């Protein structure tokens, strides 16, 4: 794994799809500015998350390694989610309303890199309190700001 020649300032697009009881929910997509760096063979992406109707900001950090992805959130809701290929992981998700146990059984962790972009695909099963909840797909694109296809620069 190498570090792409991305700038520190990036634009992050995160798309999530959940299938619950065989029914595919509408995709959720978030686009936000963030920061990127590459250190000790791992990609780090930092960004702030704001939820509608919830005061304050949640600080998010994604660390992408060879066969693992870690997502940490600190703020109104706190969690450290770990996705490891072909491995089941568990974590406690702290919300303003209480905590719950989440489980993740990762099927696919695929990272594609170009000079100025990362493309991550995660496929996993999610459990809440040890009960299967959903099959999930998360796609994240991280691009240097000013890259073709961003901020109207693809004309």
More confident residue, 53 or 71: 71
Give dist(CA 62, CA 51) in Å, integer.
18
List pLDDT tens digits, range 99-117: 999 999 999 999 999 989 9
pTM confidence score: 0.86
Confidence check: pLDDT of 153 > 50: no
Strands 117-128 and 131-144 turn out to be: antiparallel
Please enumerate in sequence order all residues whose Cβ is within 8 A of that of 75, keeping only pairs 6 or more positions apart, or say none.
49, 56, 57, 58, 59
List pLDDT tens digits, range 109-149: 999 999 899 999 999 999 999 999 999 999 999 999 876 65
- Structural domain 9-144, CATH architecture: Beta Barrel (2.40)
């Amino acid at each position: 794994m190498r570090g792409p020649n991305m700038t520190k300032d990036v634009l992050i697009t995160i798309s999530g799809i959940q299938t619950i009881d065989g029914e595919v929910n509408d995709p959720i997509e978030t686009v936000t500015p963030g920061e990127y760096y590459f250190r000790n063979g791992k990609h780090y992406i930092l960004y702030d998350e704001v939820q509608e109707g919830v005061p304050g900001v949640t600080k998010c950090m994604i660390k992408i390694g060879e066969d693992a992805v870690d997502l940490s959130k600190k703020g109104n809701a706190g969690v450290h989610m770990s996705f490891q290929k072909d491995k089941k992981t568990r974590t406690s998700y702290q919300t303003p309303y209480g905590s719950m146990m989440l489980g993740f059984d990762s099927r696919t962790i695929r990272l594609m890199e170009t000079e100025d972009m990362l493309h991550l695909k995660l496929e996993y099963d999610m459990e809440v309190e040890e009960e299967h909840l959903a099959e999930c797909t998360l796609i994240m694109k991280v691009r240097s700001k000013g890259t073709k296809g961003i901020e109207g620069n693809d004309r």
